[in-house]
Amino acid sequence: MRRTLLVVLAAAALTATALPASAAKPALHWGLCPADISSPVLQCAALQVPLDYRNPAGKKISVEISRLPSSDPAKRRGVLLFNPGGPGGPGLTFPLTWASLGAPASLLAEYDLIGFDPRGVEHSTPVSCELSPEQLVLAPKYAHNREEVAQASATAKQIARKCADSASAPILPYITTANTARDMDQIRAALGEAKISYYGLSYGTYLGGVYASLFPDRTDRVVLDSVVGPGGVDVTTARRFGEGMQDRFPDFAKWAAVRNSSYGLGATPAEVTATFFALADKLDRHPAGGLDGSLFRLGTHSLSYQTFSFPRLAQIWQALLNDQPGSAQLPAVNADQSQRSTMISVLCGDNAWPRQISTYQENVAHDRAKHPMLGGSAANVWPCAHWAKQPLEPPVQFSDQGPSNLLLVQNLRDPATPLSGALETREAFGNRARMVTVDQGGHGVGLPFLNGCGFAAVTDYLVHGTRPATDKFCGAEANARSLSEQQQQAADRLIDQLRQY
């Protein structure tokens, strides 16, 4: 994947289609945000960008941008652009959400906080594969054998065909990470900035890494939080969900065992783990209340993203143990058509996935043994195995060539973007990056209610430019900071958005 020839060809092609830093900036007309975003302090504007950067004078699409202006213009040093992940996550309200969760006053003074809906999403020329409600649950079912992999392949093929037959089909090949990074550079130019700072979560770390690779000299301070591997959201990253579940689940097992008198899930972590497999097997054989073993596994994984979701997860298990499936409400799939269709387009447009079903059958057999909790789902067939078109360009390659201004922050036990992928990205960037690793479970480091050491590393860099001289380790912290009711609601919305399926 990192062949030198591809690096040279990709860099030459992509830079040639980028908007020069000195180009005349497009006009932005700031005003009220779309009607579904009710905020008196957030401003919004629409920016026209090329659909295909190889033909910049051709068809244009719209990218919607938001701005939370600096609280003290006299101290303003620039702009801080956000991406909350996905791919396909809407970002217009993210600056306001992040600020409301406890961002320090000094940071709110230093920057205009900039959000945007990536191309294809919600207010930015939305696309739709016209998926059914069942197809919006994008993750494949948990497969126990080769036959069930073949069944998942048929379902994935139906999703791919819907995309290929949709009215959005002509646009979908251009909904990629590289093109979104080029849109970011158009945003930079429209804002009149020579450089941008950036904070990306989850998939947003890959988007930030691509931007820093295509436009290294236009980056200021870059924070990548909960780091995807350097290949982006490819078949390897999909399989890593199984790894992440195995890394994270022991935290819940310990938590539940201590509270066995309340929930009855097991008096030891081993007993809680046995309860997981017993419930999964039971629901495999006898689905209840619309919940089968596969959805139970996915829901458990989803609710492991943050420790404050553990009580909800324990209550769901308790209801299932007591044969009360009506009380076992897993998180609803809250992604709309544009978000899911964008996610599929990015997954399939960034990388060429294996096309042979036998490959997935072998992967499932391997991962079901190595990561039995979720491996049979994560390694199963995704729609990209049947995608109609091959990617228009090779993946962007990360390298150590460029300014040393990247800060990676990563939990040890992340259920969605496990440590292994972060280490690969850290290696790929070499001396361009430093990494802060936190002894914590869950998805997300740079949020103020989690680990104080990890959050301080993020804010010290963004506010003061202070980045660790070498990679750093943050120890576990027993007591997380309490949140107000309003902050808890904002945190819940954010975590719901970060869940991948």
Helix (H) or strand (E) holding 222: strand 219-225
Q: For 304-347, give the DSSP string.
A: TSSGGGHHHHHHHHHHHHTT-GGG--PPP----HHHHHHHHHHH
Q: Looking up tokens 């979104």, which residue turns up?
A: 180
What is the rounded distance in angstroms from the CA atom of residue 175 to the CA atom of residue 169? Answer: 10
**Of residues 183, 234, 247, 414, which has the active-site annotation?**
414
Sheet holding 433-441, edge to edge: 43-50, 60-68, 111-116, 78-83, 196-201, 219-225, 406-413, 433-441, 472-474
Tokens of 472: 């750093």
Please confirm, yes or no, whether 443 is among the known catalytic residues.
Answer: yes
Q: Are strands 219-225 and 196-201 parallel, antiparallel or unpaired?
A: parallel
Identify whether the C-beta of residue 213 lies closer than 8 Å to the C-beta of residue 342: no
CA 52 to chain centroid:
24
Catalytic residue, candidates 197, 202, 226, 302: 202
Structure tokens at 35: 């009607």
**DSSP 8-state assignment for residue 82:** E
Distances from the Cα of 125 to the Cα of 17, 50, 223, angstroms: 21, 12, 27
Output the CA–CA distances (angstroms, integers) from residue 26 to 19, 32, 47, 263, 337, in the order listed. Answer: 11, 19, 8, 58, 30
Q: Give yes or no for a contact between 334 and 325, defined as CB atoms under 8 angstroms apart.
A: no
- For tokens 């908007």, name the residue: 19
User: Is 114:326 a contact under the CB 8 Å cutoff?
Assistant: no
- Residues 162 and 131 sit within 8 Å (Cβ to Cβ): yes
| Spatial distance between the Cα atoms of 51 and 180, rounded to a whole number of angstroms | 10
Residue 373 CB partners (closer than 8 Å, separation 6+) = 242, 245, 246, 249, 276, 297, 300, 301
414 is annotated as an active-site residue: yes
Residue 362 CB: number of other CB atoms within 10 A?
Answer: 15
Q: Encoding tokens for residue 104?
A: 């320090």
Sequence-distant (6+) residues with CB within 8 A of 472 are: 434, 435, 436, 437, 457
Element (H, E) at 112: strand 111-116
Residues designated as active site: 202, 414, 443
